[in-house]
Amino acid sequence: MATSGLRVGRFPFLLHHHHLPSSTSRKLNVRSNSKSKGFTLYSRYAQAQDLFSSRRLQESIENLPKLVEDIVQTSINTGPRGVARLAQGVQAFIGVGQEWFADISKSTNSSAGLPNELQPGLLSPFYLRRLFERMGATYIKLGQFIASAPTLFPPEYVQEFQNCFDRTPPVPFEEIQSILREELGRPIDSVYDYVDPTPLASASIAQVHAARLKGSREDVVIKVLKPGMEDILVADLNFVYVVARIMEFLNPELSRTSLVGIVKDIRESMLEEVDFYKEAKNIEAFRRYLEAMALTGQATAPKVYQYCSTRRVLTMQRLYGVPLTDLDSISSLVSNPEASLITALNVWFGSLLACESFHADVHAGNLWLLRDGRIGFLDFGIVGRISPKTWAAMEVFLGSIAIEDYDSMASSLIEMDATNKDIDARAFARDLEKVFSTIKELDTELVVATRSGPRTTTTAVSANIVVDERQMNALFLDVVQVSESYGLKFPREFALLLKQLLYFDRYTRLLAPNLNMLQDQRIRIASNGRSRYRDRFE
């Protein structure tokens, strides 16, 4: 096997693509020349020193009855399940505390003194992430939310929680069978000819098994909610909500960060993930969008079998294909991978306004090239909804990146902000220009492996992109930091949209290195004509 490397500009859709020879091989290594910005946890709360001034104290007294009422009602809704989770939380807290204490003990024996990362204790990014992992499914999901929301959380936490993986041991098949019998209300073999006892995937919330339907003998996948998961989520999210309410009460400055509102959004989003009726609805909405826009020959989403789907069980058509990062397999399925990527982009961009919701997790495991050449969109547990106003501003933002028009970029970000503050747009534009000038200095290496078979002269070319997830948010972390310095706050869908664009950027570098996503006329970013779909269904 031969390998070679080529440096290419990072985030090429932002600037331009360099030609990538077919004989090169990429292993993605990102080097940043920009200086990391220091962050001290306590500096976030420096403005709260006047908390107990007479005015603040009066406001606190007035808000106390509402806080107590909220806590009591939340506790009632949680019920006895909260006691068990509290005990598990205490155990996890003690475990991570012991880790921290052991690290402290090692550091105190050193002449260098206590490292900065140990000083905030269990509230430091590293130990908080470790605590979340010990607490299980809910907190792993919360960690992933933090990792994907740089508009809401400090960069050190966003980067650390990139390491919060969603891989858990599988639930024994006997328990899965028990859930299936309970949910379906009849013997399993009356619905499925066969259910593979070995799961295709096991995440923190659900487990997926391959199966074959009775009668039609169609291949399907069954997504099963893990036992007790809904109770755990409700208990955990209610606890997080109460903590947020108390923190905001004790420090009114935090209300400016919309902490309670963020927690409410997280709670609503995560509870949607454990209600497979809602995921089924998301899938069906996307399939209707494809049909209404005459896109079913270009893309698809799995058909949902309603008669064997419930709140905790989702039976879907099994799609066969490969992720968009599997260049070797893609080249064997289609002659023009670039055309397939353009199709995926147009279908996804079209869904932003023409569908009830857009797919908000298009990583390689959820976006496939199918054997029949169509693009397959999988797993609609995480979706986003965007208002026309926000998308109009987003379009201007993307267009301004493509032509490096920083004045328009600044204006679009100001328009996207939820506040009504007076912003010095020209100064803001100059600061954005400084951010993007550092991006041009970033390097990436993509390594493509070439190999020849022992009995043939044919050379096979394969490639994949290995990405350090902590680098995924580097671009808009800087953009958000500059924006926040002007008092700007963005809606959550801004981060969701940019996250998906960075995923598509990966696929572009691999499948179409000469393609400029934001300037190519074959890619329809603008929303012209997308109202046809909504007109038909409203």
pLDDT above 70: residue 352: yes
pLDDT above 60: residue 14: no
pLDDT above 70: residue 504: yes
pLDDT above 60: residue 49: no
Sign, Cα dihedral of 52, 55, 56, 59: positive
Q: For residues 183-206, give the mean pLDDT.
A: 93
| Beta-carbon contacts of residue 78 (< 8 Å; ≥ 6 apart) | 234, 235, 238, 239
Alpha-carbon distance 473 to 71, whole Å?
A: 35
**What mean pLDDT value characterizes the chain?**
75
Alpha-carbon distance 442 to 315, whole Å?
A: 44
The answer to whether the predicted template modeling score (pTM) of the entire model surpasses 0.85 is no
The reply to whether 361 belongs to the active site is yes
What's the pLDDT band for 408 if we cut at 50, 70, 90?
A: very high
Lowest mean pLDDT among 232-236, 514-518, 534-538: 534-538
pLDDT above 70: residue 122: no
The per-residue pLDDT for range 133-181, each reduced to its tens digit, is: 887 777 877 787 777 666 667 778 877 887 776 566 789 999 999 999 9
The per-residue pLDDT for range 441-451, each reduced to its tens digit, is: 544 444 344 44
pLDDT value of residue 55: 54
What's the pLDDT band for 438 if we cut at 50, 70, 90?
A: low
The two tokens of residue 427 are 């100064």
pLDDT value of residue 18: 40
pLDDT value of residue 9: 43
Sign, Cα dihedral of 233, 239, 242, 248: negative
Q: For residues 371-378, give the mean pLDDT.
A: 96
From 50, 189, 236, 361, active-site residue: 361
